[in-house]
Structure 1
Amino acid sequence: MLCWGSMAAGQLGLGCLEGAVWEPRCSLAFSGRGLKEVACGQQHSLFLLHDGSVYTCGSNSCGQLGHEKARGTPELVGALDAQKIAAVSCGQAHSVAVNEQGQVFTWGAGSGGQLGLGTAEEAVRVPRLIKKLYEHRISQVMCGNQHCVALSKDGQIFTWGQNSHGQLGLGKGKPCSLSPQPLKSLSGIPLAQITAGGDHSFALSLSGAVFGWGKNSAGQLGLNDEQDRAVPCHIKFLRTQKVVYICCGEEHTAALTKDGGLFTFGDGSQGQLGHDSTNNEALPRRVLELMGSEVSQVACGSHHTLAFVPSSGMVYAFGCNSKGQLGTGTRENAQSPQPVSHREQPHTHEKCTISKIHCGGDHNFLLYCSEESSVAPEDFRVINHTKSISVINQENLDTWRVRLLESTDSSTTNDIILLFSSTACWNASFLDQSDDGHFKTNPKVPGIDLKSVRLLFETLMKPAFSRLLEQATKSFESLLIPQLPCSPPDVEAMRIYLILSECPALQDSKNYISLTIPLALAILRLDTNPSKVLDNWWSLVDCSVFSRLVEMYKSIVVFLLTGGKAVLIPVFLESYINATLKLLEKLHKVNLKAQHVEYNQFYIPDITSLVDIQEDYLKWFLSKAEIKMRSPALQSSVTLCAYPFILNAQAKTTMLQTDAELQMQV
């Protein structure tokens, strides 16, 4: 490990030295012990080893080290001995660790509620479990100065701590939240990453949609203004850039794209944006000096930025250098990327490759390993599946099937139900990988591969997977479909409508009342814009997919007209027939433009034998004329004649004859 920058509080772990380290210096604290990652706060550092143990050093003013030993050298946090820790993060003066089961432990400064323990204690000196998150498997936690953002395996975001600038994304209400609150406004979006700056936060979707909220006084949200935001806002400027990673400093933000481009925005007063100026940027702007090379890692300190270019093996630094945090060997700030000095790297005795860069307030760590170890440098552009949300794929179905067979433990079933009922997990599971198609997701492109959806459902329909299918059906019925919102937060949250309509269970008449009609009702509840998006997507699907949808909802009309009276009370029967016909009408309108199927495919031939067309037309005619019938038999509000596209020639002839008679009578 190499380290440089401020060591005023012992945060570099080099002993009780004071002042600053101006060039990268070798630290042997964990030599040969398998260092996995480092997290840096304002003046303290956490080190996570591959064996799951955690060491800390630096300032312990609020108990953020989790032990009372000497602060200048890394010491073991003994209170976490029983845990195998998988990830660590630091705020200004608090620390967080997540174990392999996804449980979260916090310690350090807590006056702003940033520990999520339900209290606002000045200092908690020993790691404590956040009980409120116990039921959720957390895969990522990121800390701002005094707030935290967490992402669970089933795609939910939780926030807690200080909310002075709206950094929790929960609206303007409370000044702080002492325990984790779900951030519902992003639900359904398949998220790849969350991150936090001083007082601002970001979430990034798997297809490159970026959402920011919180403090924006320097334009650090990239929204082309300086207004704080108390709820997540879509940064439209970055939508087409294929953003795959984001990190934040005190008041600036850096975004890395799939092709290795680096965009920075926000506070530029110390040169930390790398644009050869000290101006703030309210819109994301590409760092031109790095344009010829692909950046694969980026990290932000309070007022400086590091970027790693793997082709040359060089780390570049820009921004504030008052504590040596740039490591360039000079003492001046840098307004454009400067190479970090390599003098101290132990190239003399063995060839080394850089594996990962980490930034703190005013200090940095660089992990490296010998070339012989064949460990490739980390690439932040590649999704780390252990830290992202769960997907529903063939491999996971096999694992879950075995777990269900082997275990009688209810937690296995609960895990599976949680994922099957998560819109975000379904939306994340079938991305169109051909030519990065899913990055093109927009109101006209769903960005998913419907063939892989079909294959997965085919697997689920096999006898060996019957228990899993049962869990999936239950999850759809009781949790997923009832929770579908009228106004999804982003187009990526809408893939679920295409995915669900591929599920063969919806075509089984025993699920019409519990699944297929509720899905139609959810689609009809959509606001105008999302409803148009779904129409656009339907007009792009294969003819066979569209045809299957039409046939499915036609069968439901027949089912309701034949057996519906026996199983449903009249008011439900009516609203269900109504919903099914309205959905067919929506499909019919799409078909007028897209011409997926012949117009006569919408005909329901059985109609003439199931319904008295004369009576139905009379009812429709009178409802148009607003004449109320005394006969209760004619009181119901559903009239099939209002949907002439389902009537074949015979039915239409009857209808026209009835109309002629009526006109004469009138």
Structure 2
Amino acid sequence: MTKEATYAYGKEICSWLSLEHDWTKPQRIWCKNGVKIVQVDSGYGFVAILTDDGRVYLASNDSNWKTNNTFRLINTGNDRFKMIACGWHHLLLLRQDGLVFTMGDNHWSQITGDEKSPYECMIHIDNLENVKLIVGGGLHSLSMTNKGEIYSWGSNDWGQLGLGDEEDRGIPCLVAFPIANSIDIHIKDIVAGKYHSLFLFENGQLWGCGSNSDGELGLGFDRSKPTKMPIEDVQQIACSKFDSFSLAYRGSWYYAWGRTKYGIWSSPKKLNNPHSSFASASTMILSSPHTFGLTSIIHAFGSYDSLSYKSILRLFNNQHNYDVEFIIDKKNIKASKCYLKSASEYYRLMFSGNWIEKNQVIINDYSYETYYAYLLMLHTGKIYIIRQNITELVDLANCYGDERLMEYCESFIRNDLDEQTMPTYLPLIKKYEMKKLHDKLTHLIIEQVLPKITDNLLQNNEKSIEFLNRFYDQQ
């Protein structure tokens, strides 16, 4: 994927899309009306995409999906979605109002209940509301609500649902965590493998449940309840629903465990060389490397592709090679003035002006974590964005004139913007004149806000009069 377009490569997927396969180059996937693809995921024999206007398309060589060698539009009418997730043979769809829909195979209740396998229409999961994240494992499904509640359903032969037993579930069930006082209970991300599930907490702890037959949990044996794993300070996680391995990103390094081309790794091992992505890291441990679908719940932006990546990284927070310290909340971050001046116009001006004689610079406007993340981005090209740091990062991008960071922030907001988060993001969109997000706001207002205003007015005549008076006063 580039800024302008999304591409497909491979004989099989090109045949699904009626594209000519060329061994020397990928083929561009054309979308109507200039819409962009914001998420890609795949199962056995099918691929699904989500566009920035909330539509979902699917292509497959499985006759059950009836796609006829092209992308089939899944959602019709006014339904708009903000996330998709594929299992082996089923598809989950998260609508912009937080409701979850499913379709596909249902032999293991991975869709829900006793429904037959529906390939042509979506089924609404009744007892899930205010969902912000959906995850598809091999034959099981998971979701997380705005309150951080985790629900799971589907196949549970290995305890991958995290419910303390090995019985399949036809309806979403609440997953309980044995939380101690020292653990931050906020979950940052969930991924699901073939027979296991991983839960990443905001404090960097990683928990898992399910099969450990190939070491994919790194815990020694199977677990039917979520259990803390022997790795700390994790920032991002990934696994494949088709294989038995797991990957984690910690700072500048990737870790792997499970079935690899070197045998079974029963606990997390640090990969020797630095990598720019999970796809790159997979080349070290798998005979056939994996790619990982772009997700609309974005935590990481950008990548550093230069061959001098390792050398540049040595200039960051290296006590043996620095000439300036940034002091934030009595903590310090070490850096090289020369490199910062070459990487940022803001730093070039400051180290040639107000900071020219300074070996220590006190930063009062931003937290240590946010400033550390920004400086790390200048050295690696990558930054992690979450709701907790988005406000500071937008302000920093505006103050430092960093267009790349502002673009990353706008992308995060676009993909996280819904009826529930609108009050949080609206002041940012207005203050920093994020015109690229106006179209998303308009869609949300028309599809989510106006219908509720209409219902409210219909139920209260006095409010109708008040609304009309305000409307005509503004006119």
For the superposition of Structure 1 and Structure 2, which TM-score range results when normalised by the shorter chain?
0.5 to 0.7
Q: Does 1:419 align with 2:399?
A: no
Partner in structure 2 of residue 280 of structure 1:
222
Give me the whole-angstrom Cα distance separating, in 1, the residues matched to 2:63 and 2:85.
18
Partner in structure 2 of residue 130 of structure 1:
74
Q: Does 1:176 align with 2:129?
A: no
Q: Does 1:386 align with 2:414?
A: yes
Residue type matched to 2:81 in 1?
I
Q: Does 1:364 align with 2:364?
A: no
Give me the whole-angstrom Cα distance separating, in 1, the residues matched to 2:68 and 2:148.
38
- 1:91 Cα offset (Å): 1.4
Partner in structure 1 of residue 160 of structure 2:
220
- 1:280 Cα offset (Å): 1.6
Partner in structure 2 of residue 97 of structure 1:
49
Q: Which residue of 46, 60, 83 maps to 2:35?
A: 83
4+ aligned runs moved over 6 Å, structure 1: 355-361, 380-383, 397-400, 411-414
Residue type matched to 2:104 in 1?
G
Q: Which residue of 140, 143, 150 maps to 1:210?
A: 150
Q: Which residue of 382, 386, 394 maps to 1:376?
A: 382
- 1:214 Cα offset (Å): 0.8
1:279-358 alignment, distance < 5 Å: 279-288=221-230, 290-291=231-232, 294-301=233-240, 302-310=243-251, 313-321=252-260, 324=261, 331-342=262-273
Partner in structure 1 of residue 349 of structure 2:
none
Give me the whole-angstrom Cα distance separating, in 2, the residues matched to 1:82 and 1:381.
29
**Structure 2 CA distance for partners of 1:99 and 1:76, relative to 1, 3 Å:** same
- Percent identity, please: 24
Residue type matched to 2:225 in 1?
L
Task: Tell whether the 8 Å contact from 1:106 to 1:129 is kept in structure 2 after alignment.
Answer: yes
Give me the whole-angstrom Cα distance separating, in 2, the residues matched to 1:268 and 1:182.
32
Q: Does 1:50 align with 2:3?
A: yes
1:416-464 CA-partner distances (Å, limit 9, x unpaired): 26423xxxxxxxxxxxxxxxxxxxxxxxxxxxxxxxxxxxxxxxxxxxx
1:639-650 alignment, distance < 5 Å: none
Give me the whole-angstrom Cα distance separating, in 2, the residues matched to 1:125 and 1:72.
22
- 1:50 Cα offset (Å): 1.8
Structure 2 residue runs without a partner (length 5+): 293-301, 307-311, 313-342, 344-376, 391-411, 431-438, 465-475
1:17-64 CA-partner distances (Å, limit 9, x unpaired): xxxxxxxxxxxxxxxxxxxxxxxxxxxxxxx2221x221223517944
Residue type matched to 1:340 in 2?
L
- 1:79 Cα offset (Å): 6.1
**Structure 2 CA distance for partners of 1:473 and 1:57, relative to 1, 3 Å:** closer
Task: Tell whether the 8 Å contact from 2:238 to 2:278 is kept in structure 1 after alignment.
Answer: no
TM-score using structure 1 length: 0.46
Give me the whole-angstrom Cα distance separating, in 1, the residues matched to 2:216 and 2:24.
28
**Structure 2 CA distance for partners of 1:235 and 1:131, relative to 1, 3 Å:** closer
TM-score using structure 2 length: 0.63
Report the secondary structure of 1:125's partner residue.
coil
Partner in structure 1 of residue 215 of structure 2:
271
Give me the whole-angstrom Cα distance separating, in 2, the residues matched to 1:193 and 1:243.
11
Q: Which residue of 97, 100, 112 maps to 1:154?
A: 97
- 1:222 Cα offset (Å): 0.3
Report the secondary structure of 1:319's partner residue.
strand
**Structure 2 CA distance for partners of 1:378 and 1:67, relative to 1, 3 Å:** farther
Partner in structure 2 of residue 234 of structure 1:
174
Give me the whole-angstrom Cα distance separating, in 2, the residues matched to 1:274 and 1:303.
11
Give me the whole-angstrom Cα distance separating, in 2, the residues matched to 1:416 and 1:380.
24
1:546-580 CA-partner distances (Å, limit 9, x unpaired): xxxxxxxxxxxxxxxxxxxxxxxxxxxxxxxxxxx
- 1:73 Cα offset (Å): 4.8
- 1:223 Cα offset (Å): 0.3
Residue type matched to 1:318 in 2?
W
More displaced, 190-199 or 358-367? 358-367
Structure 1 residue runs without a partner (length 5+): 1-47, 113-119, 325-330, 346-352, 401-408, 421-467, 482-504, 513-666
Give me the whole-angstrom Cα distance separating, in 2, the residues matched to 1:359 and 1:232.
32
- 1:110 Cα offset (Å): 3.5
Q: Does 1:246 align with 2:190?
A: yes
Residue type matched to 1:332 in 2?
G
Report the secondary structure of 1:186's partner residue.
coil
Quick check: which one's helix share is greater? 1
Report the secondary structure of 2:454's partner residue.
helix
Partner in structure 2 of residue 38 of structure 1:
none
Partner in structure 2 of residue 165 of structure 1:
108
* Alignment coverage as a number of residue pairs: 343
- 1:82 Cα offset (Å): 4.4
**Structure 2 CA distance for partners of 1:232 and 1:226, relative to 1, 3 Å:** same
Q: Does 1:143 align with 2:86?
A: yes
Please, what is the CA RMSD of the aligned residues? Answer: 3.6
Give me the whole-angstrom Cα distance separating, in 2, the residues matched to 1:245 and 1:84.
24
**Structure 2 CA distance for partners of 1:92 and 1:399, relative to 1, 3 Å:** same
**Structure 2 CA distance for partners of 1:57 and 1:341, relative to 1, 3 Å:** farther
Report the secondary structure of 1:221's partner residue.
coil
Work out which structure has the larger RCO, using CA pairs closer than 8 Å and 6 or more positions apart in sequence: 1
Larger Cα-atom Rg? 1
Residue type matched to 2:162 in 1?
G
Report the secondary structure of 2:177's partner residue.
helix
1:65-90 CA-partner distances (Å, limit 9, x unpaired): 65231367533224669432222111
Residue type matched to 1:268 in 2?
N
